[in-house]
Amino acid sequence: MTQTLTCISPIDGSVFAERPVLSSAEADGAVARARAAQADWAARPLAERVDLVRKGIARVGEMNDEIVPELARMMGRPVRYGGEFGGFEERGSHMADIAEAALAPIVIESSGAFERRIEREPHGVVLVIAPWNYPWMTAINTVAPALIAGNTVMLKHATQTLLVGERMVRAFVEAGVPADVFQNVFLDHDTTSALIAARSFDFVNFTGSVGGGRAMEQAAAGTFTPLGLELGGKDPGYVLDDADPAAAAAGLIDAAMFNSGQCCCGIERIYVHESLYDDFVARAVDIVRTMKLGNPLNSETTIGPMASRRFADLVRTQIAEAVAAGATAHIDPFPEDDGGAYLTPQILTGVTHDMRVMREESFGPVVGIMPVRDDAHAIALMNDSEFGLTAALWTPDSGRAARIGRQLQTGTVFMNRADYLDPALCWTGCKNTGRGGGLSVIGYHNLTRPKSYHFKKGAS
């Protein structure tokens, strides 16, 4: 019996889409086609590959009116925010812009006696396993540079956003990318693991949970397949004593609540200097109380349902445990909170690091706020986490921010902003957040391998 992947819409619990998974033989065939197509794709001029990727990105933009409500139905993001094409285009276009320089040979010597250089070669077949929370932007982080560098790509999307990979590949193929060069695949976990264990891929990029990352490493054990892993997060914000509390509250609460808190680098815990604490909390509570929870297809909705009831139940449990342990919940239940996927956004005070809501990933619309005595106190709390993706500092003093930043165990340090991915900078993390790095020049380096040339000229 063929297994089926089913996307349940968080809007009303209905079945939005279903697709059959590939059998083992069908999956092997897809890999074989990708491998057979790779050499010819890599042999094309770099400028041609760049042009085709740009055309694929543009074709996605032409579909945006269909994509935005489709995303809302699959994972709940309100249509008022216009989908992900802005970030999708920014990231893909930046990687296209820097491709020639990023992939250029490093010439050590070019003389009458020697020619010594380092070139970059594509790995071969790249598997991209993309998450549901930002399914377009997270995928393009790897898809664009992998294709431009000369790899063929197989894209496996999360079941919650089942149609994204299908639509993305269709757009790129319609733009001229050969069908075997960029393929969407519907795979179950066992087939995915078996393919990785069989060394079907030359690079695997996975964005998802820590448990999923462990499954990737276990499947790849002994194959020496390089992995790029972006896993969990519990990103902190710190409001210093010289910060503007109004600006800090606006920025940090948006970063905590946007997309119903389902952001890889969303803010999940906030530390505020004690001199600003009461002011900051009052402003944060006022902001959250103005949010409109509801059907994401309605233009007035500012916060939609979580992607599934299961995710919302986890957040509810964390909140209830914290309150039972002495925390204060500041937001009364919204009328639209149905006990299912529609969840009231929440601010907690009186929290401690003994509570799960301040230690474990919530990935939902809740944030705990704690007062701190000074920078040293804040740094200790920010580093008291198994994760390390981003940290956001609010201060007008960039020198002070840099000094604090150097002491933080994290992949990115923000000042006066949060929850943003700059494609010119390396997107990376530490500790249980993962390994590797995407975007920027470093993203190209991770999607290629170096090859050295050492030529002695003249008579031997």
What's the rounded Cα separation, in Å, for the pair 165 and 154? 9
3-state SS of the chain: helix, strand, coil percent to 5?
40, 25, 35
Tokens standing for residue 173: 């193929």
Tokens standing for residue 417: 């902003």
Determine contact, residues 425/440, Cβ cutoff 8 Å: yes
State CA 458 to chain mean position distance: 51
Give 90's Cβ-side CA count (13 Å radius): 12
Bridge partners for 412 per DSSP: 390
Other CB atoms within 10 A of residue 34 CB: 25
Tokens standing for residue 255: 């970063």
Determine contact, residues 329/289, Cβ cutoff 8 Å: no
Active site residues: 230, 264
State CA 269 to chain mean position distance: 19
Backbone dihedral angles phi then psi of residue 133, each to the nearest 5 degrees: -75, -40
Determine contact, residues 239/284, Cβ cutoff 8 Å: no
What is the identity of the amino acid at 196?
I
Pairing of strands 390-394, 346-349: unpaired
Helix axes 135-148, 64-75, angle to 10 degrees: 130
Pairing of strands 235-239, 227-230: unpaired
What's the rounded Cα separation, in Å, for the pair 354 and 362? 15
Backbone dihedral angles phi then psi of residue 123, each to the nearest 5 degrees: -65, -45
* Tokens 């905590």, residue located: 256
Pairing of strands 437-438, 427-428: antiparallel
Nearest Cα to Cα of residue 265 among 425, 42, 52? 425
